[in-house]
Amino acid sequence: MQNAQVIYLQTIEGLLEENEVEKALDALLDLDKETQAGIRQDIIMQSGNFKEASKMFQRGMISFEELSRITARTRYGLLELMKEVPKRIERDAKIRSLNTYQFRVPDEARLEKIIGPENNLLKINWLEKALRASKAVCRVVCADGELGTGFLTQEGYIFTNNHVIPSADIAKDARVEFNYEVDASGDTKTRTSYQLDPSDFITSTPDQFDFCKVKVIDDPDSPLSQWGFVEFDPSAIPTVGEPVTIIQHPKGGDKQIALNANDVLSVWNQHLYYTTDTEPGSSGAPVFNKDWKVVAIHHAGKTDAEGGLQINAKGDRKGANRGILFRDIFKFMKDKGHATPTAGASHQASGNESVSARPASSGTGAAVNPTLQSTSAVPKFVVVYDNQDTPHLEALKRHLFILKATKKIRLYNVHEAGAGEDIQARAATELSDADYILVLITPNLFNTETWFNLVIEALANGKRVIPVYIEKLDIDGTGLEKLKSLPTMNRTVSDFPNTDAAYADIVTEIKKLLP
C-alpha cells in the first residue's frame, strides 16, 4: 500500500513538472478520496484560483505573464501540500485505530484549558476596535494608475509610502478613496474620494523612512470626519513573537485584513520585521499592535524564494515583510521642524514627540516604484546591463540624448570607469546615489553574477529599479517581477516593429519621472 502511495505521488509530481496542473488536481482529489488524507479543501482552493485565472486569461482580462505567475504559485502550493499527504494518512490511521479503545474523562477534570504559552482570548470589543480602525484606511490612487494604501490622522492628513506618493507634484493629481470595500452580503459599498493639498506635504526617501504625509482636502458634502482616524502609540513597539495586524488594499482591490500568521520576527534600527501577509498595493498600510495602535507603516517584503530580508545585525535572512517604525518617523519629523500627529485619546505624547494640529509644508523624497517621480533637480539614471548587450545600451542612449544634453537627466552606465579604475567598485558607488536604476533584462544579464547581485542589493536597499525588457524572460523569484517595467503594457523591445518605436515608448515613460 505504501509503495503504491509513493508511486502515485511521484506520478502527480511528474504531472506538475510537465505543467499539467488540471490533471494533477484531479489526481490529488482521487487520492484524497481513497486515503481520506483530509486535503480536499486545500485542493479545492488551489483549483478555484487556478481555474478562475485560466478563465480570466481566455477573456483577455489578465496577461499571459500573470497567468504564468498564478500557475507557478499553484504548482508550488500543490507540491508543498503533497509533502503533508503521507503524514496525514499515517496520523489519521492512528486516530482511527484508537476507536477500539474506550476513554472516560473523570467528572472532576477541568475541561477548559489555555493551549500554548499565550492566552489568545480577546474581549469581543477587540473586533469593534478593528472595524473602527479600518474606516480610516483608504486606497491611494495616483494619476498614472499607481495604487497604494494610506490611513487618516486626527488632523486630517494621510500617511502613505514615499514610493507611493514621492512628491508634491504627484500628490497634486492623486486622490484617496474611503470605503473601498464590500459589505457582509458581498455588495460593493458606496465609495468616497478626496483630493490632496500638495502645499502641505512632507516625505522621506525609501532608504530612510519611506513615508509621506499630506493634507486631505475636506468636502462639506461628505465630511472627512465620518471616517474617524487611527491612533498612534510609537513607544508601544511589539516584541518578537507578538502579533501585528495590517489593514490594506492588496493589489489596489477591496480592503482586506491580515489576521493570521502575523508574528513579529525582529526589531532592527528603524525597521519592524513580521510575517503578516501583504501584496503589491499594500504599500503605505498601517501596522497595528494588538491594541489597535499604529506602530509602523508597511513598505517592503521578500519571500524565502527571493532571498528574504536581513532581519538583524548578525546577518540572518528570512522571508518577511517590513515596516518603518513611527518612533523613528516622528523623530525625523521633529528634527526637520515638522509637527507629529496627535496619537488619540488614549495616548500621551512621549518625551521625544511634539504634538500639534498641523505640520509644516513640503519635503523631498524618492521612490521605489518606477512610475514615481523624482524630486531631485537633475535625476541620475544608472543603466545596468551585460557587456554583450552594449548595442541595446547605445540605442537607449541615442534616444535619451536630448534629455541628457538639456540637463534634464544625468546618465551613467555600470561599464564606465577611468583608466586603472575598478569597474565594479565604481559601479557600486554610482548605484548608491542613483535616483533610478534601469536594468536591461536579457539572459546575458542573468548569467553575469556581478551585475545581477548589484541589482538585487539595490532592491534590498530600497533603490528605485526599473526593469527594461529587451526580450521576454522569466525572472520570477528575483523581486524584479513585482516592479512596473518598460516598455509599457508588459511588452518587450523585441515586440515592437522596430527598436526606435520601442525606445521612444521607454523615453516617453521616463519623461514622466522628471521634475
Q: Which of 7-11, 265-269, 302-306, 381-385 has the lowest mean pLDDT?
A: 7-11
Higher-pLDDT residue of 37, 443: 443
The domain boundary, picked from 339, 369, 399, lies at 369
| Same domain, yes or no: 342 and 197 | yes
Structural domain for 81, as ranges: 2-100
Q: How far apart are CA 424 and CA 417, in angstroms?
A: 9
pLDDT tops 50 at residue 346: no
Count the Cβ atoms, other than its own, within 10 Å of residue 494: 11
Q: How far apart are CA 488 and CA 468, in angstroms?
A: 10
Count the Cβ atoms, other than its own, within 10 Å of residue 46: 22
Residue with cell 519621472: 513
| Same domain, yes or no: 40 and 149 | no
Residue 407, all three cell numbers: 540637463
Residue 360, amino acid: A
- Torsion, Cα of 75, 80, 81, 86 (10° steps): 130
Q: What is the pLDDT of residues 2-22, one digit of tens each?
A: 556 677 778 888 787 777 888
Domain assignment present for residue 245? The answer is yes
| Same domain, yes or no: 144 and 220 | yes
Indicate which CATH number applies to the domain containing 301: 2.40.10.120
| Same domain, yes or no: 356 and 483 | no
Q: Over range 88-109, report the average pLDDT.
A: 53
Q: How far apart are CA 278 and CA 321, in angstroms?
A: 8
How much of the chain exceeds pLDDT 90, in percent?
37
**pLDDT value, residue 284:** 96
| Same domain, yes or no: 232 and 320 | yes
Which residues fall within 8 angstroms of residue 228, CB to CB, at 6 or more apart? Answer: 132, 133, 135, 136, 152
Q: In terms of DSSP bridges, do strands 410-413 and 380-384 run parallel, antiparallel, or are they unpaired? A: parallel
Predicted TM-score (pTM) of this structure: 0.49
Mean pLDDT highest for which of 119-128, 269-278, 300-309, 439-448?
269-278
**pLDDT value, residue 103:** 41
Closest CA to 166 of 484, 514, 506: 514
The domain boundary, picked from 340, 369, 398, lies at 369
| Same domain, yes or no: 68 and 153 | no
**pLDDT value, residue 35:** 73
**pLDDT value, residue 295:** 96
Domain assignment present for residue 459? The answer is yes
pLDDT tops 70 at residue 357: no
**pLDDT value, residue 119:** 60
| Same domain, yes or no: 252 and 327 | yes
Number of domains in the chain: 3
Q: What is the pLDDT of residues 165-197, one digit of tens each?
A: 999 999 999 999 999 999 888 888 999 999 999
Q: Over range 33-38, report the average pLDDT.
A: 74
**pLDDT value, residue 56:** 80
| Same domain, yes or no: 74 and 153 | no
Q: How confident is the model at residue 283 (pLDDT cuts 50, 70, 90)?
A: very high
Q: How confident is the model at residue 118 (pLDDT cuts 50, 70, 90)?
A: low
pLDDT tops 60 at residue 360: no
| Same domain, yes or no: 205 and 331 | yes
Q: Which of 26-30, 260-264, 337-341, 401-405 has the lowest mean pLDDT?
A: 337-341
Q: Over range 133-144, report the average pLDDT.
A: 94
Q: Which of 31-35, 184-188, 363-367, 424-428 has the lowest mean pLDDT?
A: 363-367
**pLDDT value, residue 68:** 80
How much of the chain exceeds pLDDT 70, in percent?
85
The domain boundary, picked from 369, 389, 420, lies at 369
Residue 65, helix vs strand vs coil? helix
Q: What is the pLDDT of residues 246-266, one digit of tens each?
A: 999 998 899 999 888 889 999
Q: Which of 10-14, 100-104, 140-144, 213-217 has the lowest mean pLDDT?
A: 100-104
Domain assignment present for residue 108? The answer is no
**What is the DSSP secondary structure assignment for residue 138, as one 8-state letter?**
E
Burial label for 40, CB within 10 Å (0-12, 13-18, 19+), is middle
pLDDT tops 60 at residue 362: no
**pLDDT value, residue 117:** 55
Q: Over range 72-80, report the average pLDDT.
A: 82
**pLDDT value, residue 366:** 32
Q: What is the pLDDT of residues 212-239, one digit of tens each?
A: 999 999 999 999 999 999 999 998 888 8
CA distances from 244 to 68, 111, 298, 343, 357 (A): 32, 30, 11, 18, 28
pLDDT tops 50 at residue 370: no
**pLDDT value, residue 347:** 31
pLDDT tops 80 at residue 96: no
Q: How confident is the model at residue 368 (pLDDT cuts 50, 70, 90)?
A: very low
Q: Which of 33-47, 147-161, 437-451 has the lowest mean pLDDT?
A: 33-47
Domain assignment present for residue 287? The answer is yes
Domain assignment present for residue 105? The answer is no
Domain assignment present for residue 122? The answer is no
**pLDDT value, residue 348:** 29
| Same domain, yes or no: 156 and 44 | no
Residue 338, all three cell numbers: 515638522
Higher-pLDDT residue of 19, 321: 321
Please, what is the average pLDDT of the chain? 82
Higher-pLDDT residue of 417, 382: 382
Give φ, ψ of 146 to 5 degrees: -65, 140
Q: How far apart are CA 281 and CA 248, in angstroms?
A: 8
Residue 200, all three cell numbers: 502641505
Q: How confident is the model at residue 101 (pLDDT cuts 50, 70, 90)?
A: very low
Domain assignment present for residue 40? The answer is yes
Higher-pLDDT residue of 410, 13: 410
**pLDDT value, residue 100:** 43
Q: Which of 153-162, 247-256, 504-513 has the lowest mean pLDDT?
A: 504-513
**pLDDT value, residue 112:** 56
CA distances from 69 to 50, 94, 296, 342, 482 (A): 10, 39, 30, 43, 11
| Same domain, yes or no: 361 and 391 | no
Indicate which CATH number applies to the domain containing 402: 3.40.50.10140
Q: How confident is the model at residue 399 (pLDDT cuts 50, 70, 90)?
A: very high
| Same domain, yes or no: 359 and 232 | yes
Domain assignment present for residue 301? The answer is yes
Q: Over range 290-313, report the average pLDDT.
A: 91
**pLDDT value, residue 307:** 87
